[in-house]
Every structure is written in structure tokens, then in C-alpha cells.
Amino acid sequence: MKPQAKIIPEKLIIHDDTRIDNYFWMRLSDEQKKAENPDEQTQDVLNYLNEENAYLKKVMSHTNEFQEKLFKEIVGRIKKDDQSVPVNDNGYSYYTRFEEGGDYALYCRKQLNDGALEEILLNGPELAKGFSYYGIGSRSVSPDNKLLAYGIDTVSRRQYTIYFKNLETGELLPDVLSNTSGGTTWANNNKVVYYTTKDPITLRTYRIYKHVLGTKQADDELVFEEKDDTFSCGVYKTKSKKYLMIYSSQTLSTEFRYLDADNIDGEWKVIQPREKDLLYYVDHFENSFFIRTNLNATNFKLVKTPISKTTKENWIDVIAHRKDILLQGFDIFKNYLVVSERIDGLSAIRVKKWNGDEHYLKFNDPAYLASTTSNLDFDTEILRYNYSSLTTPSSTFEYNMSTKQQVLLKQQEVLNSDFSPEKYVSERLFATANDGTKVPISLVYKKGTIKSSKTPLLLYAYGSYGNSIEPTFSSTRLSLLDRGFVYAIAHIRGGQEMGREWYEDGKLLKKKNTFTDFINVGEFLINEGFTSSDHLYAYGGSAGGLLMGAILNMKPDLWNGVVAAVPFVDVVSTMLDETIPLTTFEFDEWGNPKDKEYYDYMKSYSPYDNVEAKDYPNILITTGYWDSQVQYWEPAKWIAKLRELKTDDNILLMDCNMETGHGGASGRFERYKRTALTYAFLFDLENIKE
């Protein structure tokens, strides 16, 4: 039998409008979830989630062998004893490596001299023994190279406990810092670290403390508290190692404070007081702060300001605003400024000498990602960057900014496969949206795949927070491509692929552009002969899961199947509840439903509120019981309501991992079991058996 959740109507009233939520009872507090002896409500929720999991296993049982084959196939392409490209910092070379069969990494370093022996800073496989989830957070070595601070999360709620290790003796210090965001920033004296703590209810990072080694956490000095609950905060050190920085940020505003890292008893000074709609980001070079900002610059510009005069009236343009180019970031070197840009939706790397000469790196794929990475050395002509495309595995290069010569340091290996880039085709197309906007699409498929009404196509998108979805390589995806699927990414509004306005046109009261763009891309691909509605599939996660829920309500007959991962689907109720993590500082993304205009608009697209008695396509939903970003009850309520109202006999399934949160399993390989389930779901709908 299909699971059937009990119905307990709850009236939710605001703005003289009443919503009836039959499954409001599924929400549990953290205290209820953690209690050793569950109360009646908790037990009812657990029973329902377990019923859904049991139903999933029953319906998909005929694919068990195929799932196992897919899992082994996916994992088989991954190098088991892999190692990262070493990064040099302060006299040491740092890297991570995996041993054969290991699910967790070893974090290592070597001194930068011939014959230096490896030091294992953290042994992931040993540390993770006995834990169903084990997340290693940020790691930070003291300036004298003798101490390591690192964060550990064993629940998957992104609440980390920080430990300190003496790297000379291997012993742990007695210092333990709880309820943190996982990262530490060292002062230059090797005795003090700064760290952030989280609001225990909302998980907002809101306090920054100074911890002196050898003292108790209870005695730590509160350095900064972000009292505006629409902001979160953090702390870091500039690349120059000269200044400590505290930042406060929300969607549309930032504020930075600085302190000399050698004078920790000094006064923190604000660079530019926060203003609505003013974003800025800071690094340091010589006698100036360099700032990327949107001040009179929709697509951002780069300015500098004297350290003695930091407010915005002192900002001088280094790279002026350009209407058609998005300035995404910058890296400072002694003799060079490297700027990361986005031009016509594609990433670009621009190298500029401080004396004015400049050039762009050249890339040839129709769609790709090129991004600078791990450039910790200040006095060098070598730029390190990563490159990947839909047909090119992730590659790390060192580029000489003077000679323009480059060296490939490492390219991702694809094992147990006859993979080569020449066997696959990548394309970049544009669909026309309802309002005439051209929406980019990145596609990849295996050579020989015939475009027809019977060709299966999986369309992916995200479309929120200004996050650009990059057209990068995935060895996992080969399991789809090699079985005849076309894979497509819709670069819809709400992301930032085509510049800042692309984001602005897909949020707040323009959010529906995100959904209609995706639908228009699906229709375009059908009209272009790539597939048909009988073989078109959609996939999205988190805010992309909201997208899936919206397009299911708006155009259910366009898709044969939809996969919604950790989906944000109960938009109105979540945004009305300021005790839920992420709610308060997302008002600038979705709007505040306490304002009737935003309430009405949200309600008009909120997936949960718009489920109707009609036919829906085949649906697979995934979630995690400990998810702190999209609480498990959103997908649980959604599937219950779909079961209650939908008028078709199509498949409707939910996989709730009872041990993980938003990011899924912590192990290197374990997460691919859910990927294998997802692929088996799609293949089963296509009658692909092996």
C-alpha cells in the first residue's frame, strides 16, 4: 500500500487570508528529534518517514541489481588513491590524499625541502570510525606552523566543534570550542584565534569571539555581535597577512571591519558603514584596501582606497564598471592584478600588470569554467587556475603571467572507462523566453546519439541567489550519456550567468521568470528535435527543488519525470517563521510575506500551496532528516499532499536519509548510492535495464 499521512487541519491566517495545512503536524523541534524517548508526535513523524522509505524500496526493488551496478560503475571511475595538487604556504606544501578504499581523506603536508617526510595532520578514516556522519570543516595552521585548528560535525547540522592539535607532538590541546561555523582565523602571535558561533535556534552565524589558547571557551571575549537578524557574520585574514577582517553580510548589503593582525588589542575600524543595496568585498595591497563593489556599478567594479581613509567618498576606480561584463573577483600579486570576469555568460581570466599591460587567457570549448584557485604566494609570476568543460575533466594549470606559458599540473582521471573528450559533443544554444529574453543552454551528449522525439534528455537548473551553474565535467554523468541521454543545463534568471541584472530579474517579485525560463528551455529543446515530453526529465536541488515544485504545478504535462532533491517547497510558511535557519537573511531573496504584496506573490508560486487535483508526472523526492537548510518536513508535507490530491497513477517516491542533512552522506563514495537510485529511477522510466 502507498503511504498515507494522517490529516490534521491547521488554520494559518495572515492578511485576512486563511491557508489550511493538513500536514503542519509533521514539523518537529530539534529537541524532539534529539530526544532519546520520542513523544507521540515525533513517533508519528518517524513512522511516516519510515513508511515512505519502505515504499520507495518496494517500488524500486526490481532495480536493486541495476542500482548496485550503477553504483560500482560510478565509483569505479574514481581514482581510489587520489591526491590533490599541493598548495605551498609558509614553508610547507599542503595536500589531501585518499588511500585505496578510503571514504575519507588524509590531510597532509611536507616541508619545502628535498627529502622532506610527509606529516599526516588529520587521518580522516581513523577519525570517522564509529560515526554514521563525519564532516571535517575548515582547517587552519598557526603562523608558526606548530598548531592546527579544525572543525568537526557529527550530526550534519553544520554546527562544528573546533579542536586544536599540536603538530609537533600530535597531542590535542584541552581547548574545545563548541557551536561554531567550523573555521578559525589566527592572529599573528600564534596564541589567539577568532571564530564565529551560531544562534542555537536559527543557526545564523552572529557572534565573533577571541579565544586565547589555554583558556576556557566560557572566558572568550565577544569581539563582535551581529544584532540585525537579516545579517550573518564571519572573520578572515587578508592575503597579505597584515589585517584581520570581520564582515557582516546579507543579500543586498555588506559591512567590513579591520584590525592589524599584530595588534589584537587595538580597535576594530569600519571600512564603510552598511547601506541598503551597497555590496563591497575587501582585500589589502601595500598602502590600500582593494574593494570589489556595486557602488554605482550594477555589474561591480574594482576600487582602491587609502587605509587611512576608507569610506566610499575616497574610493578610486581601478577597473571601472562595464555594462556588459560582470566583475566576479580579483587576485592580487606583487606585480600583477588578476581579474575574474564573466563575458556573454562565460568565465574569463584577465591578467593585468600594475603598469597597465594586460591580456586574457584563451579557452576553446563552447561552454566551460575557468577560475583562479589557491594563489597564496604573493611575490610570483605564476597563476594557478582550474579549467573544466562538459567534455574536459577538471584540470589544474600553472600559468606564467609573464611568458604566457602554462603547465598542466593535474587532470582528473576517469578510470575503468574508454572515456576521451572526442567521444562527446558539447553545444551552447539559446532559447527565447516568454518576454523575448535569450536564455543560454549548455548541452552534452555522446557522439552518435540521435536527436529525436524518443531521445531521453535530463534538464538541470538552479536559478537562485545569483549562483551561476557552470558547464563543468562530471564522470558520474557518463552513466547517463553512455546510455543515450542528452544532458542540458538551463542558465535561467535568478543565477548570475549573464550579469547582475540576470539575478535581479529572477528574485523577489520577478521570481516567476526563473520558472518560466526553465519551461521555455524545455519547450525549445522539444521544438529543436532533441526530445519530446514523453522523454524529457527535470532535476533540481534545494532552491532548485523549489524550481522543480513550481514547474510541476505550472506545466506538469511537459515532463515524463522530475527529481527534486532537498527541495525548498513550503515557501510561505518557511518565510513566515523566523526561527527556521536561513529565513531572516533571505528576505531580500524571496521577500518578507509579512508584507501582503510579497505574501500574495509567494503564495501564487509556492509549490506546496499550489498542489492541485490533477495529473502529475513521475516524481522522485530526496531529503535528509537532519537538514538545517531545507527542513525535512517541507518535502515530507509536499509528498503527502501530492499523494492526497494527484489524479494519476504515476510513480511518486521519497528517499529520506535518516542520518544526514542538506549535503547528504559525508563519505566519498556513500553519496553515490543516492545518485545510483536517481539514475535507476530515470532509466526505469525509459525502460533501460542495464
Per-residue pLDDT reduced to its tens digit, 39-51:
999 999 999 999 9
Side chain identity at residue 542, one-letter code: S
User: Would you say 499 and 406 are in contact if contact means Cβ atoms under 8 Å apart?
Assistant: no
Residue 660 confidence (pLDDT): 65
What is residue 585's DSSP assignment? G
Residue 319 confidence (pLDDT): 95
Q: What whole-number distance in Å separates Cα of residue 585 and Cα of residue 366?
A: 37
Question: 331 catalytic, yes or no?
Answer: no
Residue 152 confidence (pLDDT): 93
Q: What whole-number distance in Å separates Cα of residue 209 and Cα of residue 511?
A: 38
User: Would you say 77 and 478 are in contact if contact means Cβ atoms under 8 Å apart?
Assistant: yes
Burial 275-293 (b: 16+ CB within 10 A, else e): eeebbbbbbbbeebbbbbb
Q: What whole-number distance in Å separates Cα of residue 463 and Cα of residue 567?
A: 13
User: Would you say 546 and 568 are in contact if contact means Cβ atoms under 8 Å apart?
Assistant: yes
Q: What whole-number distance in Å separates Cα of residue 488 and Cα of residue 523?
A: 13
Question: 627 catalytic, yes or no?
Answer: yes
Interval 436-459: pLDDT, tens:
999 999 999 999 999 999 999 999
Average pLDDT over residues 84-95: 92
User: Would you say 607 and 550 are in contact if contact means Cβ atoms under 8 Å apart?
Assistant: yes
Confidence band, pLDDT 50/70/90 cuts, at residue 668: low
Residue 103 confidence (pLDDT): 81
Average pLDDT over residues 496-501: 94
Q: What whole-number distance in Å separates Cα of residue 132 and Cα of residue 614?
A: 40
Choice among 347, 662, 666, 684 that is catalytic? 662
Asked if pLDDT for residue 580 goes beyond 80, the answer is: no
Residue 367 confidence (pLDDT): 95
Q: What whole-number distance in Å separates Cα of residue 291 and Cα of residue 293?
A: 6
Name the one residue in this structure whose C-alpha cell is 535530463.
Answer: 458
Q: What whole-number distance in Å separates Cα of residue 64 and Cα of residue 62?
A: 6
Cell of 398: 600553472
Long-range CB contact pairs, 58-67, < 8 A, 24+: 59/651, 59/653, 60/653, 60/677, 60/680, 60/681, 60/684, 62/684, 63/680, 63/681, 63/683, 63/684, 66/680, 66/683, 66/689, 66/690, 67/673, 67/676, 67/677, 67/680
Max Cα–Cα distance, the chain, nearest Å: 75
Choice among 627, 628, 655, 684 that is catalytic? 627
Average pLDDT over residues 119-139: 89
Interval 398-442: pLDDT, tens:
999 999 999 999 999 999 888 999 999 999 999 999 999 999 999
Name the one residue in this structure whose C-alpha cell is 515530507.
Answer: 636
Name the one residue in this structure whose C-alpha cell is 532548485.
Answer: 544
CA 123 from chain center: how many Å?
A: 25
Q: Say which residue, 41 or 201, is predicted with more confidence.
A: 41
Residue 652 confidence (pLDDT): 98
CA atoms within 13 A on the CB side of 294: 17
What is residue 335's DSSP assignment? S
Q: What whole-number distance in Å separates Cα of residue 179 and Cα of residue 173?
A: 18
* Dihedral-angle region of residue 158 (phi above 0 means left; psi in -120 to 50 means alpha; beta otherwise): left
Q: What whole-number distance in Å separates Cα of residue 3 and Cα of residue 622?
A: 16
Residue 663 confidence (pLDDT): 52
Cell of 191: 596564541
For residue 281, what are the β-bridge partners?
A: 292
Handedness of CA 440, 538, 633, 132 (dihedral sign): negative
Residue 572 confidence (pLDDT): 96
Q: What whole-number distance in Å separates Cα of residue 611 and Cα of residue 79?
A: 44
Residue 581 confidence (pLDDT): 63
Choice among 542, 573, 606, 666 that is catalytic? 542
Confidence band, pLDDT 50/70/90 cuts, at residue 378: confident
Taking alpha carbons only, the member of 137, 138, 160, 139 closest to residue 148 is: 139
Question: Which residues does 456 contact at the CB level (< 8 Å), separation at least 6?
Answer: 484, 485, 486, 531, 535, 536, 537, 682, 686
Taking alpha carbons only, the member of 294, 297, 239, 300 closest to residue 272 is: 294
Residue 335 confidence (pLDDT): 94
Question: 542 catalytic, yes or no?
Answer: yes
User: Would you say 538 and 457 are in contact if contact means Cβ atoms under 8 Å apart?
Assistant: no
User: Would you say 648 and 633 are in contact if contact means Cβ atoms under 8 Å apart?
Assistant: no
Q: What whole-number distance in Å separates Cα of residue 24 and Cα of residue 33?
A: 16
Q: What whole-number distance in Å separates Cα of residue 305 and Cα of residue 284?
A: 10
Q: What whole-number distance in Å separates Cα of residue 52 and Cα of residue 651?
A: 13
Q: What is the pTM of this model?
A: 0.89
User: Would you say 229 and 218 are in contact if contact means Cβ atoms under 8 Å apart?
Assistant: no
Q: What whole-number distance in Å separates Cα of residue 397 and Cα of residue 411?
A: 9
Question: Which residues does 258 contact at the CB level (< 8 Å), separation at least 6?
Answer: 243, 244, 245, 246, 268, 269, 271, 282, 289
Q: Say which residue, 244 or 201, is predicted with more confidence.
A: 244
Q: Which range has the worst mean pLDDT, 180-184, 286-290, 409-413, 647-651?
A: 180-184
Residue 355 confidence (pLDDT): 84
Residue 377 confidence (pLDDT): 83
Q: What whole-number distance in Å separates Cα of residue 96 and Cα of residue 117?
A: 15
Q: Where are the alpha helices (DSSP H) in 77-133?
A: 124-127
Confidence band, pLDDT 50/70/90 cuts, at residue 387: very high
With the CA atoms of 361, 364, 365 and 368 taken in that order, what torsion angle do they form, in degrees rounded to the nearest 10? 0
